[in-house]
Structure 1
Amino acid sequence: MAKLRVTLVKSLIGRKKDHIATANALGLKKIHKIVEHEGTPQIKGMLKKIDYLLKIEEI
């Protein structure tokens, strides 16, 4: 599995509640917060759901 570096680049204010919950579950609560996750199918599905809020890099 590849490691993914995920950065929140847009605000969560005014977004759908399930999109906010997905970002929080990934550990992204503030803009410019960076987290690293394994590239599992579950994580990739979460990232795809809110990809318009994120910057995703493969490590």
Structure 2
Amino acid sequence: MSALAGKVKSIEFYNALSQRIYYENIFNISDIKVNVSTFRKGIYFIKVNFESTKVVSSKLILN
């Protein structure tokens, strides 16, 4: 994803109530990994912010 849109600036996770439950600034990391094992089952929304001001959003479902 980052190769297509530039360098990743930050990543955020939101729960189904639109509450931000995770935020991380990214500094020179080419392989971003987030441990979601502590998240409850449910639907989450991921927001990836790029230095170019582009934003990519995705949905994550944990069963």
TM over 0.5: no
Greater Rg over alpha carbons, structure: 2
Looking at secondary structure, tell me which structure has more helix per residue. Answer: 1
Superposition TM-score, scaled by structure 2 size: 0.34
Superposition TM-score, scaled by structure 1 size: 0.35
The higher-RCO structure (CA 8 Å, 6+ apart) is 1
Looking at secondary structure, tell me which structure has more strand per residue. Answer: 2
